[in-house]
Chain A
Amino acid sequence: MRVLVVEDEPEIRAALAQSLREGGYAVDEAADGNDGLYKAQSWDYDAIVLDLMIPGIDGWQLLKRLRKTKKIPVLILSARDTVPDRVQGLDLGADDYLVKPFVLAELHARLRALIRRAAGQAKPQIEAGGAVIDLKARNVSREGQVVDLTAREFAIVEMLALRRGEVVSRTQLYDHLFDENDDSLSNLLDVHISNIRKKLGKDFITTRRGQGYLLDD
């Protein structure tokens, strides 16, 4: 999953980005509203974490303009805690609102919920291809046994599980699994897929030649 963090306070941005990366997300960063809007419109992020009081266009403006074209889940992260601020934020199209100072664990949980709901998934556990994918614990288990996957491997499984029954192209996988600073070597994806197949069985992921990958229901 790839998220965008729009936050002008460098220390908070750095901590957020690091924490999200450690949580298995690909993270892009923007320090002001203009950069944030540009990035948000250029990529299909799985979620955006948005501060309101930022230089350039402010968070509200960014949200308003973004909502003209994109329905990406947006979580507002702001020091503005009054009810009118929260109401305005949600009414402009934000999906969630978290007040600073915040607990990282809560931010993670809210982001997971936003991404899950955007994929039409209500439960944090997904059963697919004969395995149970736990989005919260970030692991996959087969017949009650937890299978040891790397963060990248899990991210691929997570993405395919959230869109199970759908063919996910290689480009989509790249776009959602690597951030702007990753060197996305194309064969790396094949390596990850083959590793997953080794761990979860040959048939766990189906390859559609020239189209992409598929996880059966």
Chain B
Amino acid sequence: MLWYGGLILIVVAGLGGMLTYRTYLDAQRRIDARLESAAQVLEAGLTAFPAHELDPDEPQPPPPKKGKPPPPGRKKREDFLELLELPRDLRGYYAIWKHDDELVKAEGIEEIAIPKRIFEEEPSYWEDDDVRELTRRGPHQTQILVGMPTAKELGDVKQFALRVLFLSLAAVTFGMIGGWAIAVRMIRPIADISAAASKISADNLVERIDVDRLESELAGLGNVLNDTFARLESAFARQKQFTADASHELRTPLAILQAQAELALSRNREPAEYRITIEKCLKAAQRMTHLVEGLLTLARSDAGQPLASTTVSLHQVAVECLTQMKPLAEEKKVTLTAALEHVDVPGDADAILQVMLNLVGNAIRFNKPEGTVHLSVSATPAEAVLSVRDTGLGIPEADRAQLFERFYRVDKARSRAAGGTGLGLAICKALVEAQRGTIACQSQENVGTTFEVRLPRFFV
């Protein structure tokens, strides 16, 4: 702020000084021009003088004959002197000397000594505080001195200088205040942005920068920040939802264990009742284990923990999957079919098996009775394609977007009855993506659903 004021001051002072100096030079030039023209007037007067009156080298005219009147038209020295007249508005003075220092005429001045500089060939100027003089040679070897008071002209300059000074100070003051006002105006939106940004915390993510009040460049910045805040908010919201869901899911089996055990112990029961209680507790513990395993798998993948990378035969993994799923398929009266090519991919065999078990398991559990599940493994030049097709109810379009989200269940009651944790597809997605693959779902209601996993055959 201060350096900025100093800069304005220097610039204004420099400009003002230059202007004043120019004005002073102008005034001096005007004075000199007037002195010059006055001198020319005097010279013209002197030229009219008979040469011998002034110049000793000129031959004297014959003296006038006695008794005879001087020839008509002949003028006396006094008449010539009358001709020497200064322009009236000059309000100056002059003196003329003959070459022998005899004063021819002086006017407008009481007393004047012949200045030394007068003998110089060139015209010269001299000045003191209140007058300026021009000395130069005139005709007939005379010396002319013309002077004039400078008070009025230089007074104008002084007045001008004062005005410039005043205006400069006004300009600096105005500049400082204006600059400050502009700076405040420029800084306020930035201050607003930083105030809004500082209010944003994990507990308060709804705060936004008011973009409408900002100038275009700052509005751009505001928009970028608002977008970031919005992304943060949704990430936090998802995290919060996940935590709430996870705690609900983890507490439920605990609540079952607690309630069942407490109920069984609250009075004496028949052995058969204890047996039922213990079975229920065991089921709750298994559910808990299943859930914790799933959460740990997701946590590992969130932490970016790398999977094993060996050459995996998808054919072999698919056969293993079919073997493990056979009892479930028989129980649910679902036919398992397969079309398996021999394709190898780099990756983690356990993870791929888990994905397949999950997809085939879902396909069997959520199938119609007497339905089919078709597992196929094929290849394109770059990718291995693993697909699981069922003849189930299909997934409503509204649910498909959230299908791979943690704890998202299309049919809550049914999923739970089937022993699902709500994490299966989220785990599949995490495991597939950890191996740089993609997973997608196509579904038609009442016709069936196909999940397709694509894994790169070669790591680039």
Q: B-contacting residues of A (Cβ < 8 Å)?
A: 8-9, 11-12, 15-16, 18-19, 22, 31-32, 53, 55, 79-82, 99-105
Q: How far is the CA of A9 from the CA of B247 in the complex (A)?
A: 15
Q: Cβ of A53: which chain B residues have Cβ within 8 Å of it? A: 248
Contact A9 B256 (CB under 8 A): yes
Contact A15 B252 (CB under 8 A): no
Say whether, besides A101-B257, A103-B258, A55 and B412 are in contact (CB < 8 Å). yes
- Report if B445 contacts A (CB, 8 A): no
Q: Cβ of A105: which chain B residues have Cβ within 8 Å of it? A: 262
Contact B263 A12 (CB under 8 A): no
Within 8 A of A (CB), among B270-314: 280, 283-284
**What would 12 A/B residue contacts be, using CB atoms closer than 8 Å?**
A11-B259, A11-B260, A12-B259, A19-B266, A79-B249, A80-B247, A80-B248, A82-B244, A101-B257, A102-B258, A104-B263, A104-B266
Chain B 238-264 against A: per-residue CB contact (8 Å), 1 yes, 0 no?
Answer: 000000100111011011111110110
- Report if B267 contacts A (CB, 8 A): yes
**A99 (CB) vs chain B CBs: closest residue:** B251
Q: Closest approach, in angstroms, between the C-beta of A51 and any C-beta of chain B?
A: 10
Contact B259 A80 (CB under 8 A): no
Q: Closest approach, in angstroms, between the C-beta of A34 and any C-beta of chain B?
A: 12
The one of A8, A101, A103 in contact with B251, judged by C-beta atoms closer than 8 angstroms, is A101
Q: Closest approach, in angstroms, between the C-beta of B242 and any C-beta of chain A?
A: 13
Say whether, besides A22-B267, A80-B248, A100-B251, A15 and B256 are in contact (CB < 8 Å). yes
- Report if B413 contacts A (CB, 8 A): yes
**B260 (CB) vs chain A CBs: closest residue:** A15
Contact B256 A22 (CB under 8 A): no
Contact B251 A79 (CB under 8 A): yes
Q: How far is the CA of A82 from the CA of B244 in the complex (A)?
A: 9
Q: A-contacting residues of B (Cβ < 8 Å)?
A: 244, 247-249, 251-252, 254-260, 262-263, 266-267, 280, 283-284, 412-413, 416
Q: How far is the CA of A101 from the CA of B249 in the complex (A)?
A: 11
Say whether, besides A11-B284, A79-B247, A80-B244, A22 and B266 are in contact (CB < 8 Å). yes
Q: Cβ of A100: which chain B residues have Cβ within 8 Å of it? A: 251-252, 254-255
Q: Cβ of A55: which chain B residues have Cβ within 8 Å of it? A: 412-413
Q: How far is the CA of A206 from the CA of B266 in the complex (A)?
A: 35
Say whether, besides A15-B263, A100-B252, A8 and B413 are in contact (CB < 8 Å). yes
Contact A101 B255 (CB under 8 A): yes
Q: How far is the CA of A216 from the CA of B165 in the complex (A)?
A: 106
Q: Cβ of A31: which chain B residues have Cβ within 8 Å of it? A: 413
The 3 lowest CB-CB distance pairs between A and B, nearest first, are A15-B259, A79-B251, A79-B248
Contact B259 A104 (CB under 8 A): yes
Say whether, besides A11-B256, A11-B280, A80-B244, A104 and B262 are in contact (CB < 8 Å). yes
Q: Cβ of B258: which chain A residues have Cβ within 8 Å of it? A: 101-104
Contact A16 B259 (CB under 8 A): yes
Q: How far is the CA of A15 from the CA of B280 in the complex (A)?
A: 10
**B417 (CB) vs chain A CBs: closest residue:** A10
Q: Cβ of A22: which chain B residues have Cβ within 8 Å of it? A: 263, 266-267
Q: Closest approach, in angstroms, between the C-beta of B133 and any C-beta of chain A?
A: 98
**A8 (CB) vs chain B CBs: closest residue:** B413
Q: Cβ of A103: which chain B residues have Cβ within 8 Å of it? A: 258, 262
Q: Closest approach, in angstroms, between the C-beta of A15 and any C-beta of chain B?
A: 4
Q: How far is the CA of A11 from the CA of B283 in the complex (A)?
A: 10
**B246 (CB) vs chain A CBs: closest residue:** A79
Q: How far is the CA of A53 from the CA of B241 in the complex (A)?
A: 13
Contact B252 A12 (CB under 8 A): yes
Q: Cβ of B248: which chain A residues have Cβ within 8 Å of it? A: 53, 79-80
Q: Closest approach, in angstroms, between the C-beta of B418 and any C-beta of chain A?
A: 13
Q: How far is the CA of A136 from the CA of B267 in the complex (A)?
A: 17
Q: Cβ of A15: which chain B residues have Cβ within 8 Å of it? A: 256, 259-260, 263
Q: Cβ of B284: which chain A residues have Cβ within 8 Å of it? A: 11
Q: Cβ of A18: which chain B residues have Cβ within 8 Å of it? A: 263
Q: How far is the CA of A103 from the CA of B412 in the complex (A)?
A: 26
Q: How far is the CA of A99 from the CA of B259 in the complex (A)?
A: 13
Q: Cβ of A9: which chain B residues have Cβ within 8 Å of it? A: 252, 255-256, 416
Q: Cβ of A80: which chain B residues have Cβ within 8 Å of it? A: 244, 247-248
Q: How far is the CA of A158 from the CA of B257 in the complex (A)?
A: 32
Chain B CB within 10 Å, residue with most, of A9, A79, A102? A79
Q: Cβ of A8: which chain B residues have Cβ within 8 Å of it? A: 412-413, 416
Q: How far is the CA of A79 from the CA of B263 in the complex (A)?
A: 19
Contact A102 B255 (CB under 8 A): yes
Q: How far is the CA of A94 from the CA of B413 in the complex (A)?
A: 25
Chain B CB within 10 Å, residue with most, of A8, A100, A103? A100
**B413 (CB) vs chain A CBs: closest residue:** A55
Q: How far is the CA of A73 from the CA of B192 in the complex (A)?
A: 48
Q: How far is the CA of A49 from the CA of B118 in the complex (A)?
A: 126
Contact A79 B266 (CB under 8 A): no
Q: Cβ of B280: which chain A residues have Cβ within 8 Å of it? A: 11
Q: Closest approach, in angstroms, between the C-beta of A103 and any C-beta of chain B?
A: 7
Q: Cβ of B256: which chain A residues have Cβ within 8 Å of it? A: 9, 11-12, 15
Contact A79 B259 (CB under 8 A): no
Q: Cβ of B252: which chain A residues have Cβ within 8 Å of it? A: 9, 12, 79, 100
Q: Closest approach, in angstroms, between the C-beta of B55 and any C-beta of chain A?
A: 120
Q: How far is the CA of A142 from the CA of B284 in the complex (A)?
A: 46
Q: How far is the CA of A107 from the CA of B18 in the complex (A)?
A: 95
**B283 (CB) vs chain A CBs: closest residue:** A11
Q: How far is the CA of A8 from the CA of B260 in the complex (A)?
A: 16
Q: Closest approach, in angstroms, between the C-beta of B194 and any C-beta of chain A?
A: 29
Q: Closest approach, in angstroms, between the C-beta of A207 and any C-beta of chain B?
A: 34
